[in-house]
Amino acid sequence: MNCTFCDTNKIKETTTNYERNIKGVKYIIRNVPALFCETCGDYYFDDKIVKFIKNEFIKKENNQEDKFVRITNYEDLKNM
């Protein structure tokens, strides 16, 4: 696989934070599996992981009291 930004093939598997602002709430999910370009520093998330985060985590969190920041680990999210 080549990087879609810089077109090099220096891509490695890693984990990173996935951050998203939704309705004034910042969601931070730590240790999310991702691909990382060692040349330009761009991260790529698998579509299935992004769908899972959006559909499961955010849906469950909508039932909780309002907060400005919600943080969890990816592995904990999978076990909710």
The CATH number of the domain holding residue 53 is 3.10.20
Quick: pLDDT tens for 31-80. 999 999 999 999 999 999 988 888 776 666 555 555 556 677 778 777 76
Model confidence at 13, in pLDDT bands (50, 70, 90)? very high
Q: What is the DSSP letter of 60?
A: H
The partner residues of 30 in beta bridges, in order of sequence, read 73
Give me the pLDDT at residue 60, please: 62
Is 4 within a domain? no
Is 34 within a domain? yes
Is 43 within a domain? yes
Higher pLDDT, 5 or 76: 5
Rg of the chain taking only CA atoms, in angstroms:
14
Range of the domain at 23: 11-78
Is 20 within a domain? yes
Quick: pLDDT tens for 19-32. 887 767 778 889 99
Three-class SS of residue 67? coil
Helix residue spans in 1-80 (DSSP H): 47-52, 58-61, 74-78
The total domain count for the chain is 1
